[in-house]
Structure formats: C-alpha cells, structure tokens
Structure 1
Amino acid sequence: MLRGSHFALHYCPNPDGTPRLGLVVAKKLAKRAVQRNLVKRIGRDVFRHARASLPPYDLVLRLSAKLDNVTRRAMRDEMIGLLGRLPRK
C-alpha cells in the first residue's frame, strides 16, 4: 500500500497482464455527491492517461482524508505521484 496526504493506493499482482482500477470514496470523507463524483472522475482520468506505462496490478485508489480546500490540481498531482511510486516488475 502506498500513502499520500489524501489518498491511499492498494495494489496486488494481476494475472491478466493489464492494470485495472477500483475507486473507493466514502461518504464520511466527502459528504456531497458532487465531491465524490469529482474524485472518481479525476481518478479514472489519471488512470486512463497512465495505463500504458503501469505494471500489471489490480489497483484500488481510496480516499483516506477529508478534502477540505484541496484543489483539483492537487488531487490530480497526488494521484499521479502515487501511480508513479508503484514498484515495477
């Protein structure tokens, strides 16, 4: 598991040979549906752009802290940083 200031990235090897993504955004940490959907939309977009360079893992990106005053750019940068820290096979 890799941790950032607002997100945690869980990973395990995938026998299919392609990376897959799951997203978990709890109501406890993002009260409004608009905010939860924004986090998921940014997460899917970051994954889509990085997919070709990722190792074959099953990934779960989980929100682990409240998003008070966090910009979209900061969320995107943190997600990109977590994906970049994945161990290569």
Structure 2
Amino acid sequence: MTGEGSHDFARARRILKTDEFSSVFRLRPTQKSAHFVLYTRPSPLPHARLGIVAAKRFAPRAVTRNTIKRVTRELFRTHEIQAVDCIVRLARPVNTKAGPATNSALKRLLHAELSRLLASQRPRRPVGPAPAPPTP
C-alpha cells in the first residue's frame, strides 16, 4: 500500500545520498533530547523523508543501533509529519558494551524520546482570523 497517509517506509521516504544528508546537516538542529538531535529542512517533495545516524561510538552493539533505527522508522511511519527532510542523529551513548544490548526499558526510553522529537514536526494548522468576542 503506497500513497498519502500510508504506513510504509518506501525508498522515496528515505534520505539516502550523502549530499542529501549534508544539505540537512548544514542547518542548525531543530530539536534536542537526552540522546538525540533532530535536524530538519523543508522538503522539495510533497512528503516527509527520514535519515537516521546511529554511530558506533554511541551505541557499540549492532543490535542496539538496529533497535534505534527500527523504533525511529516505526514512529516516522505512524506520525503525521509535515513535508520536511528529517535526520535523527544519536548524540549521546545509550548503553555500554557491558550492559544489555536491548531490553524493554531501553525500547520504552527510545520510543518516548523519539516520539517527542517527531511530534514537534506535525503539520501546522492554518491560523484563521481570531474569533469575535461574544456580545452581551
């Protein structure tokens, strides 16, 4: 199923090329959370696109990096986001090599943090004229 409002993560909804990542990174971060930084730029396309950067130095185990990517994609698919190019970058360590690679507490933490970041990118509703004050 493809089309507006679908829950797929098609290739057209991904930021894949280095120059596309660079053009978004050139701008200042839009939002920050405890572990993530969100960069955005208006998209030339009619839909939002997502790029994810999870560096090995902040998440040493592949299973943790994959969990971060999976949770981010799931939230991106299910949130209504305005037409922007978004890059979610892991900016602080989420766990260590000694700790568990992934668990339900980590997933809940990631889900809550990423949800707040992506919620900031919901489409803005047009602001109409101010309502007239009621007359007595």
Structure 1-normalised TM-score?
0.89
Partner of 1:82: 117
Q: Which has the higher contact order (CA 8 A, sep 6+)?
A: 1
- Identity rate, percent: 33
Q: Which of these residues, 76, 87, 110, is aligned with residue 60 of structure 1?
A: 87
Distance in 1, matches of 2:77 and 2:88, equals: 13
Count of residue pairs brought into register by the alignment: 87
Matches within 5 A, 1:9-48: 9-48=38-77
Give the aligned residue type for 1:12: R
* Aligned Cα root-mean-square deviation (Å): 1.6
Q: Deviations over 1:1-55 (max 9, x none)?
A: 21000011100000111000000000110101111111101111110111xx211
Question: What is the CA distance between 1:84 and its match in structure 2?
Answer: 1.2
Distance in 1, matches of 2:93 and 2:116, equals: 19
Runs of 4+ residues over 3 Å off in structure 1: none
Distance in 1, matches of 2:74 and 2:123, equals: 21
Unaligned 5+ residue runs, structure 2?
1-29, 100-104, 125-136
SS class of match (2:63) = helix
More helix as a share of residues: 1
Structure 2-normalised TM-score?
0.60
Partner of 2:21: none
SS class of match (2:76) = helix
Unaligned 5+ residue runs, structure 1?
none
Distance in 2, matches of 1:86 and 1:37, equals: 23
